[in-house]
Amino acid sequence: MAHELANLLDASMRHVGLALASLKEPDPNQGATAPPADDEIIHRLETASQGLKRMARLLNQWLAPRSLRPGLADPSPAVDLKTALEQAILLMRPLLAANRIALHLSIDPAAGRLPAPVLDPILINALRNSIEALAGHTGTPAGRIAVDLTLVGTMVRLQISDNGPGLDPAVLDAGGRAVPGRTSKPGGHGLGLTVCQKIAQSLGGTFTLRNLQPHGAELTLSWPVAPINPATD
Look over the chain and give the mean of its residue pLDDT values, rounded to a whole number. 74
Q: Supply the pLDDT for residue 75.
A: 45
| pLDDT, mean of residues 186-199 | 68
Please state, for a pLDDT cut of 90, what percent of the chain lies above it: 21
Backbone angles phi, psi at 115, to 5 degrees: -60, 140
Distance (Å, whole) CA 52 – CA 58: 10
The DSSP letter of residue 193 is H
Cβ within 8 Å of residue 233, ≥6 positions away: none
**pLDDT bracket for residue 106 (50, 70, 90):** very high
Q: Is 72 helix (H, G, I), strand (E, B) or coil?
A: coil
| pLDDT, mean of residues 27-39 | 55
CATH architecture of 2-224: 2-Layer Sandwich (3.30)
Q: Which position has the higher pLDDT, 62 or 88?
A: 88
Quote the pTM value.
0.66
* Whether pLDDT at 199 is above 60: yes
Q: Supply the pLDDT for residue 57.
A: 61
Q: Map out the domains of the chain as residue ranges.
A: 2-224
The DSSP letter of residue 230 is P
Q: Is 216 helix (H, G, I), strand (E, B) or coil?
A: coil
Q: What is the CA radius of gyration of the chain?
A: 19
